[in-house]
Amino acid sequence: MRDVEVKIGAFVDRLANRAIWQFARARRTLETEAPLVSFTFDDVPDSALHEGAAILERYDVRGTFYIAGGLAGRVENDRTLITAEGCAGLLGRGHEIGWHT
């Protein structure tokens, strides 16, 4: 049964990835006179959600948090991954939410 779930999950991820590119906006050029740094977090474990975001906010900086929808809310041995409510909270505080598969 687990093999079937894994195969279905992989299929959904591939389908979602293709959908993203169908709806993605064209690239834009960003011109700036100052250097630019981007802070990104991958899969958004609870440490990034709470401590990472708080550190950035302390300095009035925002980050980009990339999530994998199929892993949302997943509890692992050493971490818990972000939930939909966590994404909404970050977005409400001015951070950017990205989706990867």
In the chain, where the domains are located: 2-99
CA distances from 29 to 13, 26, 32 (A): 29, 10, 10
Beta bridge partners of 45: 81
- Position 25 scores a pLDDT of 65
- Position 58 scores a pLDDT of 97
User: What does pTM read for this prediction?
Assistant: 0.66
How far apart CA 56 and CA 47 sit, in angstroms, is 13
- Residues of the chain with pLDDT below 70 are 1-2, 4, 6-7, 17, 20-26, 101
